[in-house]
Chains A and B, each alone.
Chain A
Amino acid sequence: MAPPDRTLSPEENQRRERAIVMVFAEMERLARRTIGPDRRDDYVSNLLCRLIKNRPGPRRYTADDEGARAYLVRGLRNQARDAERQKVRDARWIATPKDRDTGKPRTARDEDFVDLETPDDILRQAEQDRLEAEAKRQLFDEAIPVIAKELQNPTGFLANIADLRAIFEDDLSVHAIVMREGGTDATYKTVRNRVYQRHKRTRAYLLEVPRNKPHDVPRLTAWLSKAGLAPELADEVRRLAHEVFAPRVDRAATTMSPEPVS
Chain B
Amino acid sequence: MNRKQLIESQLRALGITPEMLGPVEHLPLQATPDYGALVEVQDEFHLGATRAQARDVPSFGKAFRQAMSWLKKDAVSQDDTEPTTMLRRHASMAPAPPESALLPAHSSVMDALGLRIEVDPAGRDLRVISREGGAFQVRPDLHAVEAQVADAAGIARVTLQQDGRFLIESAAGSPMVVGWRDSRNLLLRPVYPWAAPPVEEWTTMTTDRWMQDRLSQGARADAWTRTSLAGQLARLCEPESRDVAALIASGRLQDLVSEVELAPRRWARALPPSEKAALEQQAVRRAEALGDDLTDLFDTLSADMAEASESWAHLCHRRDDIESVRLLLKEAGTGAALDAALEALDRTGRAVRINLEASLTSDDERLRRVALGDPSAWWGSTDFEAHYF
Residues from 230 to 247 in B contacting A, C-beta threshold 8 Å? 234-237, 239-240, 242-245
Inter-subunit contact B355/A6 (CB<8 Å): no
Inter-subunit contact A20/B256 (CB<8 Å): yes
User: What is the CA–CA distance of A57 and B383 in the complex, to the nearest angstrom?
Assistant: 22
Surface stretch bound by A, among B1-9, B106-114, B258-266: B258-266
Chain B interface, number of residues (Cβ within 8 angstroms): 58
Inter-subunit contact B303/A249 (CB<8 Å): yes
Asked if B344 is at the interface (CB within 8 A of a chain A CB), the reply is yes
Inter-subunit contact A85/B383 (CB<8 Å): yes
Across the two chains, which residue of chain A brings its CB closest to B350?
A208
Inter-chain CB contacts under 8 Å: number: 172
> What residues on B are CB-neighbors of A220 within 8 Å?
389
Asked if A200 is at the interface (CB within 8 A of a chain B CB), the reply is yes
User: What is the CA–CA distance of A8 and B110 in the complex, to the nearest angstrom?
Assistant: 38
Across the two chains, which residue of chain B brings its CB closest to A6?
B254
User: What is the CA–CA distance of A5 and B326 in the complex, to the nearest angstrom?
Assistant: 19
Asked if A136 is at the interface (CB within 8 A of a chain B CB), the reply is no
Inter-subunit contact A193/B303 (CB<8 Å): yes
Residues from 30 to 45 in A contacting B, C-beta threshold 8 Å? 41, 44-45
Known A3-B262, A78-B371, A248-B357: A218·B389 in contact at CB below 8 Å: yes
Asked if B253 is at the interface (CB within 8 A of a chain A CB), the reply is yes
> What residues on B are CB-neighbors of A5 within 8 Å?
254, 262, 265-266
Across the two chains, which residue of chain B brings its CB closest to A18?
B253
Asked if B86 is at the interface (CB within 8 A of a chain A CB), the reply is no
Q: A7-B269, A208-B347 are in contact. List 7 more A-B contacts (CB 8 A).
A: A41-B245, A50-B239, A53-B257, A193-B302, A193-B303, A203-B354, A218-B388
Task: Mark B residues whose CB is within 8 Å of A.
Answer: 234-237, 239-240, 242-245, 248, 253-254, 256-257, 261-262, 265-266, 269, 301-305, 326-327, 330-331, 339, 342-344, 346-347, 350-351, 354-358, 368-369, 371-377, 383-389
What are 21 inter-chain pairs, A to B, with CB distance below 8 A?
Answer: A5-B254, A16-B253, A20-B253, A47-B372, A49-B239, A49-B240, A50-B374, A53-B236, A53-B261, A61-B387, A78-B385, A174-B303, A189-B303, A200-B301, A209-B350, A218-B388, A220-B389, A246-B358, A247-B357, A250-B303, A251-B303
5 closest A-B pairs by beta carbon, nearest first, are A196-B303, A49-B239, A50-B373, A3-B257, A54-B373
